[in-house]
Structure 1
Amino acid sequence: MSCWITIQDYAFRSIGFGERLLPREDFTLCQQFTLIGSGMIWNIYFGVLALLAGFFLAVALAVGKNAKSPLVRKPAEWFIFVFRGSPLFIQFFFAYFLFLSLKQAVPIFAPFTAAWLGALVVLFFNTAAYSGEIFYGALLSIPKGDTEAADAYGMSGWSRFRRIVFPTMMRLAWPAYTNEAIFLFHATTLVYFSGFPTLKQKGDALYYASYFADKTFNPFIPYPILAGYFIILTLIIVGLMGLINKRLNRHLPQERRGKMKFRLNLIR
């Protein structure tokens, strides 16, 4: 079987298109690259949607945690504390059994027991909590001169937040938020190793890498391939976030513009 035929058969297998049966023997490099790459579709799906949706909840949590009213501040504080204080793997585990229990009582929750929705909800809450703390720290770091200038111009409420507070908060938080985006995409590898089942062997990249490692008894081929895919994905994220960071700082003099720097982080 040529590599091109293998790509045609397995490139979109993780989402239900192509050959139904996984390879059973004569595992080639092309098969491993193709199937692990196919699984990356799910990692990108989880990461992109959770990051986009989590951004808006994170901003709300940061503003809520900075609120003077305890009725607004306390729920935001506890939400951030719970999701930052517990391991993501345990969150997946408990969420699955919670959705399973709700499904038995209210059938409308049935889709949440599938990874495509249930795991996405968990990742959404998790990244919102981490990002909310990042944005909260940036909110506290806004120079008083900026807000005093806004007050002097008569800005208040939504106008003050939209034109002064929010852009400055984003500019200060963006480098740390970029790290959170990278960690989120890496965390998507936990989805199919948690409580959410893999249906019809439609797993993510780590699922297929583990499959080849188990079948060949050689983890030194599929796992480096998996790492290579995530390194490429990380470089893409850093590049896109760098462009946004450049735009956020476009009004500053060249010497004061914050620059994105790619650094190896071994511990979250």
Structure 2
Amino acid sequence: MSCLQTIADYGLRSVGVGERLLPKADITLCQQFTLIGSGLIWNVYFGILALFFGFLFANALALAKSSRYAIARKPAEWFIFVFRGSPLFIQFFLAYEALVLLPRNGIEIFGLTAQISWLSKAWAGALIVLFLNTAAYSAEIFYGALRSIPKGDLEAADAYGISGWSRFARIQWPTMLRLAWPSYTNEAIFLFHATTLVFFSGFPAFRQEADALYYASYFVDKTFNPFIPYPIVAFYFILLTLTLIWVFGAVNRRLNRHLPSNERSKLKVRPQIIR
């Protein structure tokens, strides 16, 4: 079987397209690159959706934490503290154990039965955990940036009569993003790396349609050689990290386009080893 035929057969296997059976003998390097790359689709799925919804929720949490009203501030503070204070893997474990305890026949709401069994699947349950976790970390980043907005900017807004929502949307939020973006880039990179923990969590994959680490582990079991599959996973994630740095760097340049070149904040990527 040629490498092109292998790519055609297994390139989209992780999403249910192509050959169902995995190779069990005479495993080639092309098969390993193809299937691990196919599994990376799920890692990208988890990362993009968790990052998108986490970004929106983090903005709301940052605003709530900076509120003068305790009814909004305290829940945000405790949410951020709990998800930043506990290991991500423990969050995966507790979430899975909680979700499998839900009634399998669904929950009745106003006489209608809502199916909730899908929440215990990896594509949904693991995504929820990643979303909540990155929202907590990102909220703390945005909160710090919100507190660091120069007072002169706010005083200038008051002088021009800009207040309320208009002041937040036109001055506070753009400035907050500009100040927080370098740190938020590191959080985004770590989030994509953290998607590999889904393999170790209790959330089951559907019909072996799993992430990159699942296929790498499969090849290690078949070949008894961890020095090929795992470096392939690392290679793919290095490429993914470079892509994220390029994308977030472009956004950072856009956010700082109005500043002189010597005052523009530059991205300093410092991936976290552990959380």
Same-fold status (TM-score > 0.5): yes
| Runs of 5+ unmatched residues, structure 2 | 108-113
How far, CA to CA, are the matches of 1:101 and 1:17 in structure 2?
A: 32
Match for residue 241 of structure 1? Answer: 248
Is 2:11 aligned against 1:11? yes
Deviations 1:59-92 (CA, angstroms, capped at 9, x unpaired):
0000100011100000000110111111111111
* More divergent stretch after superposition (78-87 vs 36-45): 78-87
> 172, 181, 194: which is aligned to 2:179?
172
* More divergent stretch after superposition (253-262 vs 131-140): 253-262
Residue type matched to 1:73 in 2?
A: R
How far, CA to CA, are the matches of 2:163 and 2:115 in structure 1?
A: 43
How far, CA to CA, are the matches of 2:57 and 2:101 in structure 1?
A: 26
SS at match of 2:207: helix
Larger helix percent: 1
Provide the identity percentage.
68
Is 2:267 aligned against 1:250? no
How far, CA to CA, are the matches of 1:219 and 1:80 in structure 2?
A: 37
Is 2:72 aligned against 1:72? yes
* More divergent stretch after superposition (39-48 vs 186-195): 186-195
Give the C-alpha shift of residue 214 in structure 1. Answer: 1.5
| Structure 1 residues 52-67: aligned runs within 5 Å | 52-67=52-67
Is 2:221 aligned against 1:214? yes
> 119, 128, 140: which is aligned to 1:121?
128
Match for residue 197 of structure 2? Answer: 190
How far, CA to CA, are the matches of 1:263 and 1:65 in structure 2?
A: 26
Distance 1:83 1:267, change over 3 A: closer
Deviations 1:82-111 (CA, angstroms, capped at 9, x unpaired):
111111111111111222222436252111
Match for residue 27 of structure 1? Answer: 27
How far, CA to CA, are the matches of 1:93 and 1:267 in structure 2?
A: 17
How far, CA to CA, are the matches of 1:179 and 1:263 in structure 2?
A: 6
| Structure 1 residues 142-153: aligned runs within 5 Å | 142-153=149-160
* More divergent stretch after superposition (195-204 vs 223-232): 195-204
Deviations 1:178-219 (CA, angstroms, capped at 9, x unpaired):
000000000101112101012211110011011111111110
Cα-Cα RMSD: 1.2
How far, CA to CA, are the matches of 2:22 and 2:160 in structure 1?
A: 66
Residue type matched to 1:51 in 2?
A: L
Distance 1:91 1:266, change over 3 A: closer
TM-score (norm 2): 0.95
TM-score (norm 1): 0.97
Residue type matched to 1:190 in 2?
A: L
SS at match of 2:162: coil
| Runs of 5+ unmatched residues, structure 1 | none
Distance 1:101 1:266, change over 3 A: closer
